[in-house]
Amino acid sequence: MLVDSEVVLDVTALRAQFPALAQQVRGKPLAYLDNAATTQKPHQVIEAVARYYQRDNANVHRGVHELSQRATRLYDEARATVAEFLGASRPEEIVFLRGCTEAMNLLAHTLGSRLKPGDEIVLSELEHHSNIVPWQMACERTGAVIRVAPIRDDGTLDLDAYRGLLSERTRVVSILHVSNALGTINPVRSIAAAAHEVGALVVVDGAQSAPHLRIDVRELGVDFYAFSGHKVYGPTGIGALYGRYELLEGLPPFQGGGDMIARVSYSGTTYAKPPARFEAGTPNIAGAVGLAEAIRFVREVGLERIRAWEDRLTELAHQALADVPGLTIHGPKPGAKAGVVSFSLRGAHPHDIGTILDMQGVAIRAGHHCAQPLMERLGVPATARASFGMYNTPEEVQSLVRGLAEVRRVLGL
């Protein structure tokens, strides 16, 4: 148990809620340090999804029978839960999608339909590919151009340089809240305020912030905010996009099909109001149910306590890894980032590091983390990345350090 002046988190009891953590891998206790890729799921999320399929499985918004009414009620309640989690003003500001990638594609398609040659979209050097490629595709269609805000050598955004990119040509600023590769926490409120001064809309990729930070979209002053359920201890294949309702109402549909229409005839179609306009076809109902349960679980544990515990683990990792010969940590120091430690080991390819650590039961990520432009900025082809969740322990940090000693032994470093 961690006991600080303001933090009490019983990690032993917490870990018991996650069945996947009890297993051994390669004959060793699992140390799962790949939470930025996806988190493990607690019993109550698994049970909520199973219960839906066992008892309430039906399509939503289309049936008058009891099961359809139950499924519709659960789906609508899940939307309200997500709205409250993000601080939205009403549930209708929440669109259910597969995750952040689909949300960014939706926005690049719909907002992108308004772009003209010479219009500018501002991104940053930190971005995930899912917040780069959709905007590039929009630019190819419209003649708009992308401007890239640089980062400093410590992996933090150069806010002055960002402000210098903004002009009357800026139409969209699309930026992540927390870097998946470095853990950098961007000053979203300041970013949004500067963008709004030039009349630009602000899109935020919150995939890595939702598991770690308290989010209030109205306090942040953003126009759109997306996150993925599987990063926040929920199921895969479900996520949510927040958009200010008056903006959603003015956007065209992303896909056509059932449930997103008001009326269809061969002479023309009228579209439903948001959010239904953006949810064509049968949605991931079970995923929405599981996501709502995951949010309830996270809120029961307490985001402030989770953040404090993960910050403690990040600091411990920085201290311990500093003693590993030839190891370089990339990105900000603890306190300026969420629970991610991205590193290189001189003479070792990250994939070799990940493979040898796996033989020790330690699961990390190795590669470019879907952030190749950032890797180029750092001057490395890839990094190894350990990322923490609410259930990780100081002992697992030590397992990582011992595993790296084995990496050095096997590779003769």
The pLDDT tens digits of the residues spanning 27-55 come to 999 999 999 999 999 999 999 999 999 99
What is the pLDDT averaged over residues 129-157? 97
Summarised one tens digit per residue, pLDDT across range 282-321 is 999 999 999 999 999 999 999 999 999 999 999 999 999 9
Banded model confidence at residue 122, pLDDT cuts 50, 70, 90 = very high
- 139 is an active site residue: no
User: CB neighbours (10 Å) of residue 268?
Assistant: 7
Query: Distance between CA atoms of 223 and 242, rounded to whole angstroms?
Result: 8
Please tell me whether the peptide bond between 42 and the residue prior to it is cis, using omega within 30 degrees of 0.
Answer: no
What is the pLDDT averaged over residues 261-269? 87
End-to-end CA distance of the chain: 36
Summarised one tens digit per residue, pLDDT across range 54-99 is 999 999 987 889 999 999 999 999 999 999 999 999 999 999 999 9
DSSP letter (8 states) at residue 241: E
Q: Which one is catalytic: 161, 370, 401, 413?
A: 370
Summarised one tens digit per residue, pLDDT across range 340-355 is 999 999 999 999 999 9
Task: Name the one residue in this structure whose structure tokens are 């109205």.
Answer: 218
Cβ-count burial 293-330 (b if 16+ within 10 Å, e if not): bbbebbeebbbebbbbbbbbbbebbeebbeebeebebb
Query: Distance between CA atoms of 370 and 109, rounded to whole angstroms?
Result: 21
What residue type is assigned to position 193 of the chain?
A
Phi-psi region of 251 (alpha: psi -120 to 50; beta: other; left: phi over 0): beta
**224-228 and 239-243 strand pairing:** antiparallel
The superfamily (CATH) of domain 2-32+302-411 is Aspartate Aminotransferase, domain 1 (3.90.1150.10)
Residue 281: what are its φ and ψ, rounded to 5°? 85, 180
To the question of domain 46-299 being in CATH 3.90.180.10, the answer is no
Q: Which two tokens stand for residue 7?
A: 């933090």
Helix, strand, or coil (residue 281): coil
Q: Is the pLDDT of residue 7 over 70?
A: no
Residue 338: what are its φ and ψ, rounded to 5°? -85, -175
CB-based contacts of 265, cutoff 8 Å, min separation 6: none
Query: Distance between CA atoms of 121 and 73, rounded to whole angstroms?
Result: 39
User: CB neighbours (10 Å) of residue 83?
Assistant: 19
Summarised one tens digit per residue, pLDDT across range 367-408 is 999 999 999 999 999 999 999 999 999 999 999 999 999 999
Cα 24 to chain centroid distance, Å, stands at 27
Q: Is 209 exposed, middle or buried (0-12, 13-18, 19+ CB in 10 A)?
A: buried
For the chain, domain boundaries? 2-32+302-411, 46-299
pLDDT at 2: 42
pLDDT at 131: 97
CB-based contacts of 383, cutoff 8 Å, min separation 6: 181, 330, 342, 343, 344, 350, 366, 367, 368, 369, 375
E strand or H helix at 224: strand 224-228
E strand or H helix at 195: helix 188-197
What is the pLDDT averaged over residues 200-216? 97
C-beta separation of 31 from 399 below 8 A: yes
CA distances 240 to 85, 128, 212, 216, 313, Å, are 11, 17, 16, 14, 29
Q: Does the predicted model carry a pTM greater than 0.75?
A: yes
> Please, what is the Cα angle at 77 between 72 and 79, to 5 degrees?
100
pLDDT at 257: 86
